[in-house]
Structure 1
Amino acid sequence: MAKNFVEEGKTVAIVASAAISSGDLVQVVMFFAVALTDIPQGETGDGITEGVFMLPKLKTDDMKTGKKVYLKSGKVQLTNSGSDPLVGVVWADAGTMQKKCR
């Protein structure tokens, strides 16, 4: 292993500017993490930066595996209005009747 290895980089410290619930998708400057635990406002907790998670989706979107998804108003969606950040790809199909996707 390299002499300068520090960590795997799978988790990151999150400082909560508002209360965060376990499982929330949180923007950490230029990337996203999923909170591992509830984090009270002003406290620091951990978020995981890789993996597959069930997240709320725009109900009208028919999500297909491999499609890019963007975050808007706390939900992932297929459409990018230009300023919506890319947060990942669909891991498994989720139709319009489903409220969450992977």
Structure 2
Amino acid sequence: MLISEVAAKDEFFSIKNVTRDDVLAAHRVPPQLLGLAPIGTTGFGSVVPAAQVFAINELLPLMARFRQVNDWLGEELVSFNDYAALGSQTTAENSRLT
């Protein structure tokens, strides 16, 4: 293998990792919820707390905004089931947002 091929391969993997990180940041989804493996020796931690924080910070506000569409239209067109990873604290937060 030529040195130039090794450099091109390394550059490709670097671009791929940066793109992955940019997509995660744009959608604000924790990497462990997408099944990504940690890079290096660090880990992501437990999935359940990450899912709960994601639900509180991202999903519940979006759900509340979609419920406003129902109010605006005067008809329930959008509804949501409880998120499976929600604990009692998050469920209380969910009822407060509605």
The TM-score with structure 1 as length reference comes to 0.28
Q: Which protein is bigger by CA-based radius of gyration?
A: 2
Specify which structure has the higher proportion of strand.
1
The TM-score with structure 2 as length reference comes to 0.28
